[in-house]
Amino acid sequence: MSKEKKASRGRPKKFDRNHVLDIAQESYWKLGINQVSINELCKLAGVSKPSIYREFGGEDGLMQAVLERYNNTILSPMLSVLSLDALFNDTLKNLALYSTSADETSEMPKGCLFANMKESRLSLGEFTIEQIDKTYESVIKAFEQWVDAAKEKGEFKMMDMDSRFAAVYIYAQISFAQSQMMKGETSEDVRAILQVALSVL
């Protein structure tokens, strides 16, 4: 009898951090970072609000964890294409293709969660903003190193262009394209515009 009472104390079931992050990432990505309340996320994930606060310290901590996870699982694999031994223009075309791909049968949302969060940064918490800045710098650094390598190989047309400026420009164009995808523009139209924007490089 005493053993049964002891077993019933505490959380009714084990808190599944990955499950909660899956639900939060998908919801933020599909609906928009400011369109999903913590109460809705708790309902979708089947967890209590106190358990979210215990695990993440609050909504800000949850958003930070989601962005960190998104960076590790989505952004980093995308940026790995920059390290491949391919011509600069070929990689640029692949980036444009990857950034504007839309499989209508896939459950993966269109656009980029990070771009959405960066756009909404003024309404987000301190920890999330710190993670946004950290993620942004890592993305820009990856592009900058790629541009530097292309310059060394003589594959970058605008040799006088500052490498960081080029990196920021590339990110801005891709980010805008993904934002348009999230708003429902067709992948073909967005890709065509992105390719024109990147052709100057």
Full residue range of the structural domain in which residue 133 is found: 68-198
* Domain containing residue 72: CATH number: 1.10.357
Q: Is residue 42 part of a domain?
A: no
Pick the closest to residue 102 from 27, 177, 155 (CA basis): 177
Q: Is residue 72 part of a domain?
A: yes
Q: Is residue 23 part of a domain?
A: no
Q: Is residue 9 part of a domain?
A: no
Q: Is residue 159 part of a domain?
A: yes
Distance CA 139, CA 129 (A): 15
Q: pTM for the complete prediction?
A: 0.84
Q: What is the pLDDT of residue 10?
A: 47
Q: Is residue 20 part of a domain?
A: no
Q: Is residue 49 part of a domain?
A: no
Q: Is residue 61 part of a domain?
A: no
* Cα atoms in the 13 Å half-sphere on the side-chain side of 123: 8
- For each of the chain's 201 residues, which pLDDT tens digit applies? 434 434 334 444 688 999 999 999 999 988 888 889 999 999 999 999 999 999 999 999 999 999 999 999 888 888 888 877 899 999 999 888 888 886 554 456 777 899 889 989 899 999 999 999 999 999 999 999 999 999 999 999 899 999 999 999 999 999 999 888 888 888 899 999 999 999 999
Number of domains comprising the chain: 1
- pLDDT tens sequence across 57-97: 999 999 999 999 999 988 888 888 887 789 999 999 988 88
